[in-house]
Chain A
Amino acid sequence: MFITAAAAVLVTMALALFRSLKGPTVFDRILAINSFGTLTVILISVHGFMAGRPEFLDLALVYALINFIGTIAVTKFVTYGALENTTDENEPGDI
């Protein structure tokens, strides 16, 4: 049962990788890597169940956190060219 889930996730990962390699714009690549990260979360959870190791789910949770942060950081970097001091004068900085 878990084998089918793992196989489906691996095939979808291949599709996402193909999109990230082929994607014309940089946003396609970020999109593909974001779904690749979510698929990794699923793969870690399923593998944790297959191998009978419940602590894998902590890895999956942390991976989901990092995947979110990474995608937002890359998106910001792509649009503003930098990660820090990107708020221009007439827009009040939030932090």
Chain B
Amino acid sequence: MELVLDVVSWGFILAGSGFCLIGGLGLIRLRDMYARKHGASLIDTLGIGLILTGLMVQAGFTLVTAKLFLILVFVFFTSPTTTHALARAALNSGLVPDVDKDSPIKQGAVPSKK
């Protein structure tokens, strides 16, 4: 039984680390700030999610698992909020996303409320 738990948590942690690395790579390689946000949010969601789930499996039904679950719930709600706030701030302050050439945003029609 112990071996099964170890194998499962090992799988979760490896997958989580892989997603973290892919997110980091996306943070570096992607062209535009808005595209890099995908890489960063990959870390925020799957990276932390899978690694902490692996730790939860390792910890079993204890207070430690409750704390890990609380961290996950908190990050689950706040990471979209930060991503949205950042993207909106960038768009409002005139960072034009590098989309196809004939989109209205491209011609500087930035929908800023100021």
**In the bound complex, do residue B67 and residue A61 qualify as a contact, i.e. CB atoms below 8 Å apart?**
yes
Taking the complex as formed, is B89 at the interface, i.e. its CB lies under 8 A from any CB of chain A?
yes
The chain B residue with its CB closest to the CB of A61 is B71
Q: A35-B23, A71-B82 are in contact. Are A41 and B71 (CB under 8 A)?
A: yes
Nearest CB in chain B: distance from A69 CB, A: 9
Partner of B47, one of A18, A38, A79: A38
Q: How far is the CA of A28 from the CA of B87 in the complex (A)?
A: 10
Q: A1-B9, A32-B40, A57-B67 are in contact. Are A15 and B27 (CB under 8 A)?
A: yes
Which residues of B have CB within 8 Å of A78?
A: 89, 93
Q: Are A72 and B21 in contact (CB under 8 A)?
A: no
Sample 6 A-B pairs with CB under 8 A, ordered by A number: A15-B27, A30-B86, A35-B40, A38-B43, A39-B47, A68-B82
Besides A41-B71, A57-B71, 8 new A-B residue pairs in contact (Cβ under 8 A), listed by A number: A8-B21, A12-B20, A28-B33, A42-B52, A49-B55, A54-B63, A54-B64, A61-B71
